[in-house]
Chain A
Amino acid sequence: MSFKVIKSGFLSLIEDYGRFGFAQYGLCQSGVADEHAYCWANHLLENHFNDAILEITFGGCELKALTDSFIVVTGADLDFKIDGKTQPLWQVISIKSGDTLTWSVAKNGMRTYLAVKGGFQTDQLFNSRSVTLREQIGLQLMEEDELLSHANSSKVVQHSIPSHFLPDYKPDLTLRLLPSYQFDQFDQQQKETFFNQRYAISGASDRTGCRLEGQRIQNIPSTMISEGISYGSVEITTQGLPIILLKDRPTIGGYPKIGTVFSLDLAKLAQNQSGSTVSFELIDIETAQKERRDFNTFFAIN
């Protein structure tokens, strides 16, 4: 036994690296929204890269520790405290049975990650512990839930993140876009509209997609034949506005796509609330693959 949920918060979900191998049956990828913060949390605890964490969105969450353990909190600053005292993020903390952990309000970013030594031991479904509300797989955290983790008495090194790896969650992002899918079918004027503006993130965004508001791209065909949609692909709806498809997206969709946002930029996007802005610039496949491969190697993701 490890934690008891006193307050569940706005939206708190157990997630891991994601659910793979079942897309052909319509099952979505799911998994953490911010891979950077997630991977650092597990890395600092010397966990496996796929260990399950708690993704807390916006805060309002309170947990009581039922056993001694080691934890790391990364991602957004949601005013994390233990027994009322502010705690550091991005480093291993030793907690004692009876400690109360709280996250109140978002001060910088919007999603925080609680990792525990050994990972949370919730039920696996289709090779993953990720909760996917849209597919009715698992449930969001509820009051009175008990979160189990591996009882682990092994010695833990009190790692913290080297400061140059600390992310800076800016409200205005530039997302790097691979020219993929129907990129070549958008004409010059449509591309100019897309690349030459800063879009505002809509409040209707969620783990399925990030909806953008701004100047509309004209003359978008109403529908196309549905096809597989990848993480980060950018649909342009019939109204001419982009939706960036995220971890809980369906497996197929029927809007034209102007490109695909590089995954590590999506990690940053996961910390941006409605009202902040994004723009797009192109990235080539070699650069994207090298950067992602370096990331995978560093965190032992295979």
Chain B
Amino acid sequence: MAGENAIIIYFGDRVSSDLIEKISFYTQLLTDELAELIIDVVPSYTSLMVSYKLNLVNHDGFCQQVEQILLSKSVVSDSYSFKVIEIPVYYDVDVGLDLEDLLNYKNLSLAQFIEIHSSTKYLVYAIGFSPAFAFLGEVDERIRKPRLQNPRIKIPAGSVGIADNQTAVYPANSSGGWNIIGKTPMDLSLDNPENLTRFIVGDHVRFIPIDKQQYLSLGGLL
């Protein structure tokens, strides 16, 4: 139980990409099958929270329906099509406020770092912290670094960060403690309302390295 009109379903207790694929599959399935009853779904690393219309169904009734659906279908990975989103990134100390520290910390050249960060196809594990903020994993061990001890008051929109085994793009100006390693010229902010639904748990993200000139010509700010 998560509240008077909400339940939370746990699918496991360890974070893994397999578990995310399972959770995202069942999120879609429940949303389809119980569309009339469901208000909101919040998939996250190991769980799925679902809120429902208690005018139409009570706690026990809803749990029973959910259980039936979960038991009726096992994961068929291609039954829902999740997207691959490409995000151009300018990796440079100009915009990567913590890039130099991270390179020193890991004893890497910029070229090595870019190769490692951009060669992984990342999975969206969760969305939260702020709207359209997608927690992406899993970051290669060679470029992992813990969060900053003192979070920054202002991180510019479009900044790309690393925190341990996760990476993310800040869609809007915000405070935060991630190591900033570059910036995308893409507008992911809610100034364009369509950006809200750009990511969903289960999608993949690929970062495409771009140089300064490309960054500026795509509208990037220094």
Contacts and interface: CB of A to CB of B under 8 A. Distances in A.
Nearest to B43: A24
B163 interface: no
A180 B196 contact: no
B3 A25 contact: no
B146 to A, nearest CB: 13
A218 interface: no
A140 to B, nearest CB: 17
A131 to B, nearest CB: 13
A250 B128 contact: yes
Contacts of B4: 178, 260, 262-263, 285, 288-289, 292
A296 interface: yes
A35 to B, nearest CB: 13
Given A20-B39, A178-B4, A289-B54, A25 B196 contact: yes
Interface string A77-121: 000000000000000000000000000000000000000000000
A225 B15 contact: yes
Size bracket, chain B contacts = 35 or more
Interface stretch (B179-187, B197-205, B212-220): B197-205
Nearest to B13: A225
B46 to A, nearest CB: 5
Contacts of B49: 227-230
A139 to B, nearest CB: 14
B8 A22 contact: no
Most buried by B among A22, A23, A136, A286: A23
Interface in A220-264: 225-233, 250-253, 260, 262-263
Contact of B193 (A125, A250, A297): A125
B112 to A, nearest CB: 31
Nearest to B46: A225
Contacts of A293: 54-55
Given A135-B130, A227-B8, A296 B41 contact: no
B3 A250 contact: no
Contacts of B53: 302
B44 A226 contact: yes
Interface residues of A, number: 45
A24 B1 contact: no
Contact of B190 (A137, A251, A285, A296): A137
Given A24-B41, A285-B59, A289-B54, A227 B127 contact: no
B169 interface: no
Contacts of B58: 286, 289
Contact of A23 (B8, B15, B40, B193): B40
Contacts of B8: 180-181, 227-228
Contacts of A252: 42, 44, 126-129
B131 interface: yes
Contacts of B1: 178-181, 260, 285
Given A23-B42, A227-B8, A302 B2 contact: no
A27 to B, nearest CB: 5
B55 A296 contact: yes
B103 interface: no
B51 interface: yes
A10 interface: no
Contacts of A27: 131, 196
A253 B129 CA distance: 8
B159 to A, nearest CB: 16
Nearest to A292: B4
A203 interface: no
Contacts of A178: 1, 3-4
Interface string B170-193: 001000000000000000001001
Given A25-B132, A251-B127, 9 more contacts: A24-B41, A24-B127, A24-B201, A125-B193, A178-B1, A252-B44, A286-B59, A288-B4, A289-B54
10 contacts: A25-B127, A26-B128, A136-B172, A178-B1, A181-B8, A225-B45, A251-B42, A260-B3, A262-B4, A286-B59
Interface of A: 20-29, 125-126, 135-137, 178-181, 225-233, 250-253, 260, 262-263, 285-286, 288-289, 292-293, 296-297, 301-302
